[in-house]
Every structure is written in C-alpha cells, then in structure tokens.
C-alpha cells in the first residue's frame, strides 16, 4: 500500500478503498471482456449506482494487499461486483460491493448489458 493511501496514523484512509475496488474492476474487465474501453467503443458507459465497504481490519503503510473481485447479478442494464481485500498473509482487510448500470454514452439512458459482455462475465465466473 502506498503512503499516499494512508491517514496521519499510517492506516489506510477510507477513501482509498473505493479506488482499490475500481482498480480491481478495471482489471477484471481487461482480463475477461476486452477492457473498459471496449464498452466505450460500443457506445456504452457503465455507471456506479451504489457502493458499500465493510472495514474488517486496518491496513497499514507498506502492507501488501490483494483485491479479489467477481461480477454477478446481471439483470437488464444492471450488474454488481463484489470485492474482498486481503493482506498478503490472507488476513481479511475489507469486503464490499458496487452496483452498476449500462447506459447509452450519448443519452445516458439505461441499456441492456450487451450480450458479448454477459458472455464474457459468465465465462469468467463459470
């Protein structure tokens, strides 16, 4: 963990966790669905609707952390990512989720999760 992610006591600041969730989400899309840019290339944006994080144990400066994520609950335009952050020794640090919706990049009106993305996610989660 970077020093910039900590508070004055050297503990991860709560504002760092949503950023770590985003990094994991972007990497998930890169690994399984051609990246976030593939969505944008198809005229789609994926907006964050809700975010939740449960802090279980403090992360401290210089801890090595792993963020695990999975994508589920695809319904219409919506889908959800779940996250678990663990220290390199396996100790749980935090868990949480983010809810998303696909929208048309021009109108920002909801649009179904594209079939190619549904297929990529189902393949990744299968």
Q: Tell me: the pLDDT tens digits for 89-111?
A: 999 999 999 999 999 999 999 99
C-alpha triplet 73, 77, 79: angle, nearest 5°: 25
Q: Tell me: the pLDDT tens digits for 39-64?
A: 999 999 999 999 999 999 999 988 99
pLDDT given for residue 5 in this prediction: 81
Give the CATH number for residue 86: 3.10.129.10
56, 65, 105, 111 from 87: Cα distances, Å: 11, 5, 37, 37
Catalytic residues, by residue number, are 7
Q: What percent of the chain has pLDDT over 90?
A: 83
pLDDT given for residue 100 in this prediction: 97
Domain containing residue 46: 3-125
pLDDT given for residue 8 in this prediction: 81
Q: What is the mean pLDDT of the chain?
A: 93
Q: How many angstroms separate the CA atoms of 35 and 116, rounded?
A: 12
Domain count for the chain, please give it: 1
């Amino acid at each position: 963990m970077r020093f910039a992610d900590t508070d004055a006591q050297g503990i991860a600041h709560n504002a760092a966790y949503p950023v770590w969730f985003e990094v994991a989400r972007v990497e998930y899309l890169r690994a399984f669905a051609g990246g976030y840019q593939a969505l944008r290339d198809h005229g789609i944006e994926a907006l964050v609707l809700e975010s939740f994080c449960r802090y279980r144990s403090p992360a401290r400066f210089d801890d090595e952390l792993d963020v695990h994520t999975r994508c589920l609950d695809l319904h219409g335009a919506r889908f959800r990512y779940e996250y678990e952050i663990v220290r390199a020794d396996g100790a749980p640090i935090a868990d949480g989720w983010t809810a998303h919706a696909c929208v048309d990049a021009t109108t920002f009106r909801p649009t179904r999760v594209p079939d190619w993305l549904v297929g990529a996610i189902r393949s990744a989660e299968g």
